[in-house]
Amino acid sequence: MTITIGERLPSATLVKVTSDGPDQVDAASYFAGRRVALFAVPGAFTPTCSAQHLPGFVAQAEALKARGVDEVACTAVNDAFVLRAWSKASGADGVTMLADGNGDFARAIGLTMDGSKFGMGTRSRRYTMLVNDGVVEHLFVEQPGEFKVSSAEHLLSVL
């Protein structure tokens, strides 16, 4: 079942990418006490994710913070080392990378997709959510193959 607006994020392990290396965090605890714009991509270095989704949030990070967002974070079913390389290659210093290498978080919130036809296995669906003190305040999930409602610009338009 897919998480909905008003629900609390479940406990699931994510791996935060830091300059000191991977740092395991519990999602329920990590999002507590602050307002986080979280966006998910099917995979680092994939076309839409690299050309539009991540760059949009990098460009709009300050505008989001000006509207009450404490942190901008990205999650993907990739390991922390891949997300770190993607962040560096993309100049995404203002975006926190949260690796979901086993897809546990994506499964826990009911937002997985089958990327087998592309050789990717189970991945996260593309979405953006605004999490306020661990509770989903806004949630925008893309239809397969689309990039419309999960953009940074769309999130800004509702804040």
For every residue of 82-122, DSSP letters joined together read: HHHHHHHHHT-TTSEEEE-TTSHHHHHTT-EEE-GGGT--E
Handedness of CA 13, 16, 17, 21 (dihedral sign): negative
pLDDT above 80 for 157: yes
CA R_g for the chain: 14
pLDDT above 80 for 120: no
CATH 3.30.360.10 fits 13-158, yes or no: no
Average pLDDT taken over every residue of the chain: 93
- Long-range contact pairs involving 43-50 (C-beta distance under 8 Å, separation at least 24): 43/76, 43/77, 43/78, 43/115, 43/120, 43/123, 44/76, 44/78, 44/82, 44/83, 44/85, 44/86, 45/82, 45/86, 45/89, 48/126, 48/147, 49/76, 49/126, 50/86, 50/90
Q: What is the DSSP letter of 8?
A: B
Residue positions annotated with a catalytic role? 49
Average pLDDT over residues 80-103: 94
- Ranges 35-49, 110-124, 135-149: which has the least confidence: 110-124
- pLDDT for position 95: 96
pLDDT above 90 for 68: yes
- Each residue's pLDDT tens digit, 28-55: 999 999 999 999 999 888 878 777 889 9
Average pLDDT over residues 111-138: 90
